[in-house]
Chains A and B, each alone.
Chain A
Amino acid sequence: MYQWDFTPVLANSGMLAAGLANTLKVTGTALALGVPFGLGLALLRLSSWRALSLPAGFIVEFFRTTPPLVQLFWFFFALPILIQVEMTPFVAAALTFSIQSAAFFAEVFRAGIVSIERGQSEAARALGMTGSQAMRRVILPQAVKRMIPAFTERAIELMKTTTLVATVSYADLLFQANELAQKTFRPLEVFTVTALIYFTVIYAASLVVHRIERRMAISGETTVH
């Protein structure tokens, strides 16, 4: 019978905390950059001007269909050769996951925008709004509401995917757990705790989003028509 012993893990909890902080840093950066860039890509892709929509579509599809690990290796190992710049693991990770989530968020935005009835933009235009005013005041506020579930799903997926950064020696939670397991010879306890940390953080975040969503549904129109 295996004797569980969490004391070595607890004694080194600072290592895991530092790892979690780094995981949140990469995830947060990717969200902070990926959401606005994703919106930009979505608007470009929806443009009736093909010189804009085609390149945007290519970027989105390319980053959605290549494995994130390949992207990470490319940014960490290949790009520095090309541009002669030393790449830190954090910059490579932030770059990879920002662009990758921008590609995914672009599709979330696009789906949200096209789901808004045509009459909404017609009513906005009939008042004399420009296309961008209609987008900002009428279409996006409604689209964002409908996007929240898909958005949450992507953000969760993103945080889980960031575990790949351990492969380029970025000290995220998984990397730190691995170090700790080797140091303490307690992989079972270490990885159990690590899994629980991921679960706690992600589940708590999704509860908060769910709350926000419910509150938005109560105030004003529901998202269902």
Chain B
Amino acid sequence: MTSDTALPLLRVTGLRKHFGRDEIIRGIDLDVAPGDRIAILGASGSGKSTLLRCLNFMERPTAGRIVLGGKVIGTERSGHDGKIEVSYSESELTRVRQRVGMVFQQFNLFPHMTALGNVMEGLRTVKGMARDAAAAKAQGQLARVGLEDKADVYPSRLSGGQKQRVAIARALAMEPELLLFDEPTSALDPELVGEVLRTIRTLAEEGRTMLLVTHEVGFAYHFANRVLFIADGVIHEQGSPDEVLKHPQQARTQAFLARHNEFQF
């Protein structure tokens, strides 16, 4: 997938995540090359969202190594039993998150700010931009998702699809090197899914590096250059959309896709 010469933007090795005694991620290796569009599929509870949330450290991995832009995140040292332990400093994770954007299933817009205010917030608070410059840039991002006329509207007056597009603009404004989508259309009414997927597709055409956790198998097929099928916290099958979605080799992948296509006509 990734040529040896091109440095991966993100390299994940041996990733594990426990919640108490539950092991949700059980050893995942993943390379993300610049420009990759990776769709992550899997049944609910398979660990696909947790995997995504580990990549911008919304969840701290229990074990494993994450290398972003050639640099290992966290400080590694050998534990008493020879295992490598990683400790993370909050300030380092904050810097990582400035480079890895995220779009959430529940949008999580800031309800006390207008659409423009939402998009400006990171520019002002995190990047320290002047108000005018931030407003101009934010306005441009809203235009990109087709919501330039909603700048002064509060989230409570926006439809679900519009909210998610504002959330996408908010993430884009920070110019992340990597953009994570955590089931961006799962909270939407069916008729609003299309506008969000179209927005994501335009980003794909710009060559952005993106990881998308989704249930929209059809969209994954058109959007992704790689598809991962996650089951029981490991990558069960991966490959091109054709390989995984049209000619799956593993029984569980086949069963998952059959369930998704059950009611198609």
Question: Which A residues lie at the B interface, using CB under 8 A?
Answer: 117, 119-120, 122-131, 133, 137-138, 141-142, 145, 220-222, 225
List 9 A-B pairs, minimum CB-CB distance, nearest first: A128-B98, A221-B111, A123-B108, A127-B122, A119-B108, A126-B102, A128-B126, A221-B156, A220-B154
Assembly CA distance A90 to B57 (angstroms): 52
* B170 with A141: CB separation less than 8 A: no
Question: Shortest CB–CB separation between residue A146 and chain B, in angstroms?
Answer: 11
Assembly CA distance A163 to B170 (angstroms): 52
Question: Shortest CB–CB separation between residue B236 and chain A, in angstroms?
Answer: 28
Assembly CA distance A138 to B118 (angstroms): 10
Question: Shortest CB–CB separation between residue B148 and chain A, in angstroms?
Answer: 20
Q: List 18 A-B contacts (CB under 8 A).
A: A117-B108, A119-B108, A120-B110, A125-B94, A126-B56, A126-B97, A126-B101, A127-B121, A127-B126, A128-B98, A128-B122, A128-B126, A133-B126, A138-B110, A141-B112, A142-B112, A220-B114, A221-B111
Which residue of chain A has the shortest Cβ distance to B127 in the bound complex? A128
B199 within 8 A of partner (CB): no
Compute the total of residue contacts between A and B using a CB distance below 8 Å: 74
Q: Which B residues are CB-close (under 8 A) to A130? A: 90-91, 94
Q: Which A residues are CB-close (under 8 A) to B63? A: none
Given A137-B125, A221-B155, A122 and B112 contact (CB-CB distance below 8 Å): no
B198 within 8 A of partner (CB): no
Q: Which A residues are CB-close (under 8 A) to B106? A: 119
Which chain B residues in 46-98 approach chain A with CB under 8 Å?
56, 58, 90-91, 94-95, 97-98
B97: contacting residue among A117, A125, A142, A225, CB under 8 A: A125
Q: Which B residues are CB-close (under 8 A) to A117? A: 108
* A120 with B108: CB separation less than 8 A: yes
B138 within 8 A of partner (CB): no
A222: contacting residue among B58, B113, B114, B156, CB under 8 A: B156
Which residue of chain B has the shortest Cβ distance to A136 in the bound complex? B125
Q: Tell me which of A128, A130, A133, A222 has the highest count of chain B C-beta atoms within 10 A of its own C-beta.
A: A128
Q: Which B residues are CB-close (under 8 A) to A124? A: 110
B104 within 8 A of partner (CB): yes
Assembly CA distance A220 to B156 (angstroms): 8
B170: contacting residue among A127, A133, A137, A221, CB under 8 A: A127
* B156 with A129: CB separation less than 8 A: no
- Mask of B120-133 contacts with A, CB within 8 angstroms, 1/0: 01100110000000
A131: contacting residue among B90, B110, B154, CB under 8 A: B90
Question: Shortest CB–CB separation between residue B114 and chain A, in angstroms?
Answer: 8
* B58 with A125: CB separation less than 8 A: yes
* A127 with B97: CB separation less than 8 A: yes
* A128 with B97: CB separation less than 8 A: yes
Question: Shortest CB–CB separation between residue B126 and chain A, in angstroms?
Answer: 5
* B104 with A123: CB separation less than 8 A: yes
Q: Which B residues are CB-close (under 8 A) to A125? A: 58, 94, 97
B244 within 8 A of partner (CB): no
* B174 with A122: CB separation less than 8 A: no
Q: Which A residues are CB-close (under 8 A) to B104? A: 119, 122-123, 126
Which residue of chain A has the shortest Cβ distance to B124 in the bound complex? A137
Given contacts A119-B108, A129-B125, 17 further A-B contacts (CB under 8 A): A119-B106, A120-B108, A123-B108, A125-B58, A125-B97, A127-B121, A127-B171, A128-B95, A128-B98, A128-B122, A128-B174, A137-B121, A138-B121, A145-B112, A220-B111, A220-B112, A220-B154
